[in-house]
Amino acid sequence: MKFSARERSALNRVSILLEHYGLLLESDKKFPSVVNIIVRKPVIGSWWGHPSGKLIWTVSNNLAESSDVLLAKLVSRKVTLIHRKLWRNVIAVGTSRDDWQINSLSPEAMELLHCVDERGKVRTDRLANKEEKSVRMMTSSDAVRELEYRLLVQSEEVHTESGAHARILQSWQDWASSRRLKGKFPHVSDAKAKLEKLIQRMNKDSDAKGKLPWQ
């Protein structure tokens, strides 16, 4: 893809800070994010309507497709861009099946999680006959969000052949294998401690209140 000088400058600036911190939110008023790095001040309302909206989209979309970036609802239940250097920590937490992940999980979300575990990867619009009530409930946006917010799956939005939206849900083991992540992963307590320390520092630097899913 060919970038203009302005796009290239913005992409480089965001990329440098993403690697520096290890993660960025897509959008937030205070916490370091793609939007406030590009605009350099808080954006009121949706960034789509901002004069730099197209630039923000171009940078966000390019980073989302980068082989060094993972997207997850890691900070404050918002889309978080996570640099490769933190992947093992996120996966260690995501695969731990701690109480905060499983306790009070809805039956629909639990059924969907079992399906992802068994298949490795599923697309929500292709699981089964859409006339089946149980499947419609299992693949509802609420059930999908439960799994995303608790880091139980890796999730990616796709446009279907009909022009609608669906999500590809992938187990962390399957996702790690697809990225050829081998070797030892950190213990979950060490992984959580590292992420907590990072968020604490980023909050302090930006006077923000970002939270991790278990906090």
Q: Are residues 129 and 67 part of one domain?
A: no
**What pLDDT sits at residue 183?**
83
**What pLDDT sits at residue 212?**
98
Q: Are residues 115 and 76 part of one domain?
A: no
Angle between helices 107-119 and 141-149 (to 10 degrees): 70
Q: Are residues 116 and 52 part of one domain?
A: no
**What pLDDT sits at residue 154?**
97
Domain range holding 46? Answer: 5-92+184-206
Q: Are residues 126 and 73 part of one domain?
A: no
66 falls within a domain: yes
| Residue 157, amino acid | E
**What pLDDT sits at residue 155?**
95
Kindly report the number of other CB atoms within 10 A of residue 6's CB atom.
Answer: 12
**What pLDDT sits at residue 127?**
77
- Left if phi > 0, otherwise alpha if psi is -120 to 50, otherwise beta: which for 169? beta
In the block, which residue shows the tokens 């790690």?
176
Q: What is the pTM of this model?
A: 0.91
| Residue 77, amino acid | R
For residue 192 the two structure tokens come to 């959580």
**What pLDDT sits at residue 130?**
47
Q: How many domains does the chain have?
A: 2
Q: Are residues 138 and 38 part of one domain?
A: no
Q: Are residues 127 and 194 part of one domain?
A: no
**What pLDDT sits at residue 161?**
72
Q: Are residues 88 and 111 part of one domain?
A: no
Q: Which of the residues in the chain have pLDDT under 70?
A: 1, 128-139, 162-163
Q: Are residues 82 and 140 part of one domain?
A: no
Contact call for residues 125 and 187 (beta carbons, < 8 A): no
Which residues are registered as beta bridge partners of 24? 81
118 falls within a domain: yes
For residue 170 the two structure tokens come to 């992938």
Q: What is the pLDDT of residues 147-192, one digit of tens each?
A: 999 999 999 988 777 667 788 999 999 999 999 998 889 999 999 9
Strand order in the sheet with 121-123: 121-123, 165-170, 154-159
Q: Which helix (H) or strand (E) holds 72?
A: strand 69-75
Q: Are residues 60 and 122 part of one domain?
A: no
